[in-house]
A = this chain, B = another copy of it.
C-alpha cells in the first residue's frame, strides 16, 4: 500500500549535472519515503491520490543558510552598508525579540518557504528552541543552530546550546537536526571557537558559521591574527566536524584549498551579498577545487525573501557575467545548488532528489502559465521563468503541507495577525543595546 500517489506528473531529476524529465510519471509515497517512480502505477494501492497533470515535480528545495525569524525585519534596513545594517538596525532591533516573537517570525518565514517550494532549511539564530517548536508544528525540515557570540556568558551559552542539541537533535522523526552555531570569527574569539568545536565533537554534530563576508573582515583578521578568517577557523579545529560556512566571499586560493581539504560546504547567499555590496564567493573556482557550494537565502532583513530559486538564479546570472561565459553555472548545475548540493552541505543523505528510497520532500510546480509557456525546456522554465506562486503543492517527509496553495499546517491568517501586532514594539531602535557590535572596518574595504 502507498499512503500517497501523485499521478501523471513530469518528474525532474538531475543526472550528472544535467536535468532529465520523466514525463507523465507517478510517484508513490509510503510513510516518509518515495517507494516508486514509474508510469501508470495502480491507484488501487494508494490511500490518497494527487493529480499532477500539467505540473512539474521537483525535489523540495534546500535553503542552506537562513535566519528564518528575521522575516520580522524584512525591509527595515534598506540601501545601507553592512556596518550600519548591523550596528544601526539589526543588532539593536534584535534586542527587542522575545522567544515568542521568534516563534511567530519563524512560522512566517516557514510559511513563505513552503509557499516557494522550500522543504528544508539550515537556520542560524538565537531562541532556537522557539524555532524548533515552529519547525516541529509546521512539518518543515530543518538543521538548526543556536547562534553563539563571545562574551562574559560564553559558558552559559555553550551549556544552553548543548541542552538544545540534546533535546532537539533527531526530533520529530529526524525532521529536526541540530548543529552548533558560532556566529563568526569576528564575533567569537579563537579560544571560544575552539571550545565550540570541542563541544560539537563531543555531541557528534557539525557547525554552521559566517565566514569571510567582506574584504574588511579579511584585512582585520590578517592584522589581528596574521591569518585569513578561513585559516584562523581551521586552526581552531572547527573544520574537523561537518561544517557549513556562509558567504565566504573573500578567499585566497589557499583558503579554497583548505575548504576543499576539510569538506567544508559553502552556503552562498547572493542576494544579500549583492544587496549589501560586500562581494560574492568565487563559486566557479570553488567548485573546480571540489568545494561543495550550496545556496542560501540568508535572512529576510537583507534578502527580503526566502525564495531559494531566486537566489540560485541570481548566482547563475552573476557567474555568467563575471566569467564572460554564458556556459558558466548551467541550469542543471544551478538547480543542484538548491537540491543535491544543499543535501550534501547539510550532510543529509536522503533528501534533495526524487528517487526511490529518498525522503518524500517535493514540490509540484504549475507550468501552464503565460510566463512559462511554451515549455521548450521545463528545467529552464523552473529556474529562469517560474515564480514562487507557481508552486501548487508541497510535501515534506511524506506529509502534504501545502495543497493547491493552501497551507495545511500553518494558520497563515493568525501568523500575519500575530506578526502585525508586534511591529511597533519590534521596531523601537535602542541603539545603546545591541546583540553584538560589528567592528568598524578600514575605509575602502
Contact = CB atoms under 8 A, between A and B. Distances in A.
A237 interface: no
In the A-B complex, the 4 residue pairs with the smallest Cβ-Cβ separation, listed nearest first, are A389-B389, A304-B384, A75-B377, A274-B317
A388 B369 CA distance: 12
Given A314-B314, A326-B80, A388-B387, A321 B75 contact: no
A385 B276 contact: no
Given A81-B326, A327-B81, A331-B79, A387 B389 contact: yes
Contacts of A423: 374, 376
B78 A377 contact: yes
Interface in A362-400: 368, 370-377, 380-381, 384-385, 387-390
A420 interface: yes
Interface of A: 71-76, 78-82, 85, 108, 111-112, 115-116, 271, 273-280, 300, 303-307, 314, 316-318, 320-321, 323-328, 330-331, 368, 370-377, 380-381, 384-385, 387-390, 412, 415-416, 419-420, 422-423, 427
Contacts of A303: 384
Contacts of A271: 317
Given A277-B321, A416-B373, A78 B380 contact: yes
A75 to B, nearest CB: 4
23 contacts: A73-B376, A74-B380, A74-B385, A78-B331, A78-B377, A78-B384, A79-B330, A81-B325, A82-B326, A274-B318, A275-B316, A275-B317, A276-B326, A304-B384, A318-B318, A370-B412, A370-B415, A373-B416, A374-B420, A376-B423, A387-B388, A387-B389, A388-B389
